[in-house]
Amino acid sequence: MELSLSIPALLFPAISLTMLAYNARYLAIAALIRSLHSQYEDNASETIRLQVEKLRKRLTIIKNMQAVAILSFLLAVTTMLLIYLELGFWANIVFGTSLVALMVSLILSLIEVQLSTKALSIQLQSIEKKEK
């Protein structure tokens, strides 16, 4: 397959929107951590401690999601440069690597969503215990 400049350029909006979504998740978690910090100072409970553990894992995953998405973006730009320089073989390799990096970022996003669901589950269990 012959790569043209427009093919890697198609990744730009996808990666940009992905980065925007990842940043929104990061900001939401940062606000939650600040809220939990003040709650923990008032009442050091096991539920809050468990939530903090999950949030720490989620922050690490989001950091890695963002790093791999940025790598994908840089590789897409590098692909365009290689196409411009008429180095088609290397452009194909770099573009393939860019696609793999984007897939890794999306898989990390899926894992983070699963952890998010588990954290909400902890919160719901806490509410259910108080109701009983």
Flag whether pLDDT at 49 surpasses 80: no
Instruction: Tell me the domain boundaries of the chain.
Output: 6-131
Please provide the average confidence, as pLDDT, over all residues in the chain. Answer: 87
Q: pTM (2 decimals)?
A: 0.81
What is the chain's Cα-based Rg? 20
What pLDDT score does 104 carry? 97
Number of C-alpha atoms within 13 angstroms, CB side, residue 52? 15
User: What is the band of 95 on the pLDDT scale with cuts at 50, 70, 90?
Assistant: very high
* Neighbouring C-beta atoms of residue 47, cutoff 10 Å: 18
Helix ranges restricted to H, the chain: 6-9, 11-42, 46-84, 88-131
The Cα–Cα gap between 73 and 16 comes to 8
What would the pLDDT profile of 1-10 be if each residue is shown by its tens digit? Answer: 788 888 888 8
The whole-number average pLDDT for the span 116-121 is: 80
